[in-house]
Amino acid sequence: MSLAARIAALAGRIGREVKVKVGADHPGLARAWVCFGHVGSQIVVRSSHNVASVTRTAAGRYRVTFATAMPDANYCWTALARSSTNSGTQRIAIVRSSTDQKTAQFVDISCATTSTSFDDSSEINLAVFR
């Protein structure tokens, strides 16, 4: 057996092992993610996984509802917001305010300017891990 054939066989065996060990419920994979933004006067969801809806609750404030609920509210989320202009006006995804909620069914996220006033963004990316 040639070296190339041996390497191909090894790669095949590794692939089969990894496929068995890393499933959809692996904690290193995002359980939900969404790319959305507030464009014009509406929410535009560009792409998502396990997200039923995104609702704008106020300027810069959003509720992301999961298609399949998380096991509990002990999940991690991270988000990134794009600046709405090229003038250096930054947008940041920030930690929830005390009125926002995080449940197994949904998470409230906020987007703000660097001066900490809530403001919309044309693109927000959210990933949820559990």
Whether 99 is in a domain gets the answer yes
Q: What is the pTM of this model?
A: 0.78
- What is the pLDDT, as a whole number, of residue 124? 93
Write out the residue range of the structural domain in which residue 74 sits. 27-129
Query: 21 lies in a domain?
Result: no
64-100 pLDDT, tens digit per residue, is 999 999 999 999 999 988 876 666 667 777 766 677 7
User: What's residue 103's pLDDT?
Assistant: 95
Range 94-100, long-range pairs (CB < 8 A, 24+ positions): 100/61
Identify whether 18 is part of a domain: no
pLDDT value at position 12?
Answer: 86
- Count up the domains in the chain and report the number: 1
Q: Torsions phi, psi of 45, nearest 5?
A: -95, 115
In a domain, 19, yes or no: no
pLDDT band at residue 17 using 50, 70 and 90 as cut-offs: confident
The distance of Cα 91 from the centroid of its chain, to the nearest Å, equals 16
* More confident: 56 or 26: 56
Measured CA to CA, the distance from residue 63 to residue 110 in angstroms comes to 9
* Per-residue H/E/C for the chain: CCHHHHHHHHHHHHHHHHHHHCCCCCCCCEEEEEEEEEECCEEEEEEEECEEEEEEEECCEEEEEECCCCCCCCCEEEEEECCCCCCCCCEEEECCCCCCCECCCEEEEEEEECCCCECCCCCEEEEEEC
User: Going by DSSP bridges, is the β-strand pair 30-39/76-81 parallel, antiparallel, or unpaired?
Assistant: unpaired
Has residue 122 been placed in a domain? Answer: yes
Tell me, yes or no, whether 4 lies in a domain: no
Q: Is residue 109 part of a domain?
A: yes
Higher pLDDT, 4 or 20: 4
**Spatial separation of the C-alpha atoms in residues 41 and 8, rounded to whole Å:** 53
Residue 7, domain member (yes or no): no
Cβ–Cβ < 8 Å for 118, 66: no
pLDDT number for residue 84: 62
Tens of pLDDT, residue by residue over 32-65, are 999 999 998 999 999 999 999 999 999 999 999 9
What pLDDT is stored for residue 59 in this prediction? Answer: 92
